[in-house]
Amino acid sequence: MKKIVFLAAVLFCAGSIMSSCKNAGGDGSSAEVKPENEPVVEEIFENQDTLAVENAVDLSRVPAHENTPEQDEIIKNFITEMYNSSIYTEEEFLEKHCTESFLQQLRDDNDYEGGGYANWDFRSESNDGFGDNKILKIEKKDGRYYYEAVDGGWYFRNVISAFVDKDGKVMFDGIARDRTYVAPEGARNDF
């Protein structure tokens, strides 16, 4: 995203400089600059923003599930307890409450030698320590749960897939970072 913003800024500056040179009067005075390239720059921003939003949340990693309102409440409470108490870091918890496909996703996301699960997928991308971790809000949308949380002072939102199995156990089925999320004003969120 930073590259896109930088590219757009370079194009805008280059266009402004070229336009200024082209419109400069021969007597040293400057004629009124007409932003001939402004619609092009706006179009670049609009197209990039659309592409950025479309690519900002990889929903292919997060299957949708139809749950009853009662199951929704169970799942939301379970997500809150799981995150606030950091039990997503425990291998036994993950193996008990994640589908095999989600466990594979967590293994694939772990680039470290020796393998294991990328339990950090449940957190922000900015904090390596623990403390002041809590769920702020959970919303259900399109069969998925969007949880907004703070991670040691860093604000973020993830999209998680969950359902209640036939034994009444909450199962997670995928997770993705919601890169469209904008942190509250004054919050640390520069990742």
Of 56, 83, 100, the position where a domain reaches its end is: 56
The single-letter code of the amino acid at 74 is I
Of 18, 39, 56, the position where a domain reaches its end is: 56
Mind listing the pLDDT tens digit for each residue in 85-104?
999 999 999 999 999 999 99
**Whole-number Å distance between alpha carbons of 111 and 118:** 8
- 104 and 42 together in one domain: no
Give me the long-range contacts of 168-173 (CB less than 8 A, separation at least 24). Answer: 169/96, 169/97, 170/74, 170/75, 170/78, 170/97, 171/97, 171/98, 171/99, 172/97, 172/98, 172/99, 172/102, 173/62, 173/63, 173/65, 173/98, 173/99, 173/101, 173/102
**Whole-number Å distance between alpha carbons of 19 and 187:** 39
**Whole-number Å distance between alpha carbons of 124 and 21:** 46
SS (HEC) of 86-98 = CHHHCHHHHHHHE
Q: Is the Cβ–Cβ distance between 65 and 143 less than 8 Å?
A: yes
Helices and strands of the chain, counted as H and E runs: 5, 4
- 99 and 85 together in one domain: yes
- List the domain range (segments joined by +) for residue 49: 2-56
- 83 and 172 together in one domain: yes
Number of domains in the chain: 2
Q: pTM of the prediction?
A: 0.69
- 30 and 120 together in one domain: no
Average pLDDT, the chain: 78
Q: Is residue 20 part of a domain?
A: yes
For residue 4, pLDDT over 90 is answered with: no
- 51 and 72 together in one domain: no
Q: Is residue 160 part of a domain?
A: yes
Mind listing the pLDDT tens digit for each residue in 136-179?
999 999 999 999 999 988 899 999 999 999 999 999 999 999 99
Q: Is residue 70 part of a domain?
A: yes
- 50 and 142 together in one domain: no
Q: Hey, which residues does 151 pair with through a beta bridge?
A: 154
